[in-house]
Chains A and B, each alone.
Chain A
Amino acid sequence: MTALAAFLHRHPRLRLAGLLSAPTAWLVVAYLGSLAALFLSAFWTTDPFTSDVVRIWSLDNLRAVVTTDVFRTVALRSIGVAVAVTVIDVLLALPVAFYMAKVARPRHRRLLVVAVLTPLWASYLVKVYAWRAILAEGGPLDWVLRPLGLGSPGFGLPAVVAVLAYLWLPYMILPIHAGLEQLPDKLLEASADLGAGAGRTFRSVVLPMVLPSVAAGSVFTFSLSLGDYIAVQIVGGRTQLIGNLVYANITLDLPLAAALGTVPVVVILLYLLAVRRSGALRSL
């Protein structure tokens, strides 16, 4: 035993390899392995009558995903929803996180963080069905908006964006809050001393400092929205997103579902690359 310890002490690289091999194997097998399996099955086909997977190689599924109009429309719609949800969440999270980190009294800050985290304790389905009740005809939203001559938007694309923006908001608030906490108050005071108004301080001091946090939060909101299919089924009316196409095909045509499933993977990879290029991740 002591010999082994001495040996490892002399060979730091081996020591490191021994420590990291288990988590690395887990990452490669479970995470990359399943991605690879997904990608591989996209090249298979199915028996049209029994829906059994037939292991005949073909590019037809991937070609279908690229060339079929409806798949393109749905993919673009899904990206649009993910972008809209991300933008809404950034706009909502910035003031909330700023208040939590800078304005609220220190002993309230912790409570506010807990309050933001609380919705994460409730089941996803409960929250979405609650929104179905809120948005339904004659529901609370209808009741509130009726005096203003408006009504609930009903079930559809706007409802999906609203519900997803609600669901993923904590994932945006928390990183921004963490970023703002690290922002020294002195900088805000210095900016004010130099004569900058609130707007100028926000643009020139706060925003550049929290941009990496916003980018990190946006990776959550963007990818979670892009993959969602349950909220759409419940409040989406007749809308379908890329996740619904995967879900609809997974029962009958697994290879096509796999080909469709690669679309969000590719989009998210591109998004991560774009975020990285912008330099927002460098200071994380």
Chain B
Amino acid sequence: MRRTPALAAALCAVALAATACSSTAKPSAAGGAGFTPPRLQAMKTLGPGEGRVNLIAWAGYAEDGSDDPKVDWVHPFEKKTGCQVSTKVAGTSDEMVNLMKTGEYDAVSASGDASLRLIASGDAAPVNTDLVPNYKDVFASLKMQKWNSVNGVAYGIPHGYGANLLMYRKDKVSPAPDSWAPVFAADSPYKGRITAYDSPIYIADAALHLMSTRPELGIRNPYALDSKQFDAAVALLRQQNANIGEYWSDYLKEVSAFKSGNSVLGTTWQVIANTAQAEKAPVDAVLPKEGSTGWSDTWMVSAKAKHPNCAYRWMDWIVSPEANAQVAEYFGEAPANRLACDHTADKSFCATYHASDAAYWKRVWFWTTPIPQCVDGRKDTTCVPYAKWVQAWTGIKG
């Protein structure tokens, strides 16, 4: 406080931007196209395995048969490499970022709204892709993207990508929705039965809806919102809050809510829809016509990894054609390895999930960390950074 001018300090206090204001003191914050991550070295050569690897993963990414005996790509890995896998399932990107800070984990399946934060804080180390033989078969369109590399240095191995879908109870919602409109409408007939993802990044879903319903706001990318656009998205979510039954971040909680009918409509992942259907809940999931938010996930290695050699072996395993096909098919996302398409049980799987279908993925906005430098390329304004999204999310839930 002492080092900031009085006016700025007062503004900071009013805006409760305790976090945003002190950032000027730290050079690690994002800077335009390229911020400077802490100088860390990637591994040079692969050593013998350490016998263990601790993973942070999205639900369904590291299945060892305990959810479904037929779904298991962890035990074959353990048998092949001698690395015992222990997995911590995280519900949100924020949780992943926080778990990585503990230094107890070796690798993480980070989405685009976590990866840059992990790189900037020095929690994720650069990855030597030469030590991952299967990397060569990963779709070129996924390599060295802005969420998995910085200044030409790779920080992870692409895992798979998909869209956040709209799930509904077939017996309670008619007509079948093809748009996000009933989720956001103030007079939605499903008041009190709507569910939403409990994370600040969900603000982008509202922004995406505004892109088609209020073009005058000029939103071109749901992760690049100036203050006027941001306020509109927050207002929409406040209005939605009155209709929400419950927010979810634990996927089992959403499954149970849809099974009982406490939730009948709302955002979901394909794996949740699959699980709910397997438990005989009459649900379906669609990609609405406005498009959707989505994820493109990257396996990253912790800078403090105690088992880096096993972590590299895991990264190679999870993008190997066979394992990548299994995880993609179980989770319901497009695989990262192009050869995986030959190994799926359903031969039309890659077509169904639009792997390498560039036109389809134009409608999906992959999670990205919002930073002051607008990620849509606008130079004449500053965008609302993620720290403000977090504060706004608390306010939305009230």
Question: Which A residues are closer than 8 A to B by beta carbons?
Answer: 45-52, 54, 56-61, 63-64, 67-70, 73-74, 132, 136-139, 154-155, 233-234, 236-238, 240, 245, 248-253, 255-256
How far apart are the CA atoms of A55 and B29 in the complex, in Å? 16
Q: Mark each residue of chain B from 4 to 30: 1 if its CB lies under 8 Å from any CB of chain A, else 0.
A: 000000001100111111110110111
Cross-chain contact B394 with A48 (CB below 8 angstroms): no
Counting from the closest, the 10 A-B pairs by CB-CB distance are A60-B18, A50-B121, A48-B387, A251-B98, A136-B260, A64-B16, A45-B22, A48-B19, A137-B261, A237-B246
Q: If the complex has contacts A58-B1, A61-B18, A253-B390, are A49 and B385 also in contact, measured as CB distance less than 8 A?
A: yes
CB distance from B231 to the nearest CB of A (A): 15
B186-245 CB contacts (< 8 Å) to partner A: 192, 241, 244-245
Cross-chain contact A252 with B1 (CB below 8 angstroms): no
B371 an interface residue at 8 Å Cβ cutoff? yes
Cross-chain contact B18 with A238 (CB below 8 angstroms): no
Cross-chain contact B262 with A47 (CB below 8 angstroms): no
CB distance from B93 to the nearest CB of A (A): 10
B151 an interface residue at 8 Å Cβ cutoff? no
B398 an interface residue at 8 Å Cβ cutoff? yes
Cross-chain contact B22 with A49 (CB below 8 angstroms): no
Interface CB pairs A-B, < 8 A, 16: A48-B20, A49-B30, A49-B117, A50-B121, A51-B117, A51-B121, A54-B26, A136-B260, A136-B262, A138-B260, A154-B262, A236-B246, A237-B244, A251-B94, A253-B19, A256-B18
Cross-chain contact A57 with B1 (CB below 8 angstroms): yes
B93-151 CB contacts (< 8 Å) to partner A: 94-95, 97-98, 101, 116-117, 120-121
Of the listed residues B12, B22, B23, the one surrounded by the most CB atoms of chain A closer than 10 A to its CB is: B22
Residues of A within 8 A of B94 (CB): 251-252
CB distance from A73 to the nearest CB of B (A): 7
Question: Which B residues are closer than 8 A to A by beta carbons?
Answer: 1, 12-13, 16-23, 25-26, 28-30, 94-95, 97-98, 101, 116-117, 120-121, 192, 241, 244-247, 250, 253, 256-257, 260-262, 369, 371, 385-387, 390, 393-395, 397-398
Residues of B within 8 A of A46 (CB): 18-19, 22, 387
Which B residue sits closest to A251, measured CB to CB?
Answer: B98
CB distance from B114 to the nearest CB of A (A): 10
How far apart are the CA atoms of A251 and B98 in the complex, in Å? 5
Q: If the complex has contacts A155-B246, A248-B394, are A51 and B98 also in contact, measured as CB distance less than 8 A?
A: yes
Contact of A154 among B26, B97, B116, B245 (CB under 8 A): B245
Cross-chain contact A49 with B386 (CB below 8 angstroms): yes
How far apart are the CA atoms of A184 and B67 in the complex, in Å? 58
Residues of B within 8 A of A61 (CB): 18
CB distance from A59 to the nearest CB of B (A): 7
Residues of B within 8 A of A155 (CB): 245-246, 262
CB distance from B85 to the nearest CB of A (A): 24
Contact of A64 among B18, B117, B262 (CB under 8 A): B18
How far apart are the CA atoms of A225 and B209 in the complex, in Å? 38
Cross-chain contact A238 with B247 (CB below 8 angstroms): yes
Which A residue sits closest to B99, measured CB to CB?
Answer: A251
Cross-chain contact A60 with B244 (CB below 8 angstroms): no
CB distance from A175 to the nearest CB of B (A): 35
Residues of A within 8 A of B98 (CB): 51, 250-252
Contact of B22 among A51, A54, A256 (CB under 8 A): A54
CB distance from B378 to the nearest CB of A (A): 19
Residues of A within 8 A of B95 (CB): 251
How far apart are the CA atoms of A18 and B201 in the complex, in Å? 56
Cross-chain contact B398 with A60 (CB below 8 angstroms): no
How far apart are the CA atoms of A256 and B391 in the complex, in Å? 10
CB distance from B83 to the nearest CB of A (A): 28
CB distance from B47 to the nearest CB of A (A): 29
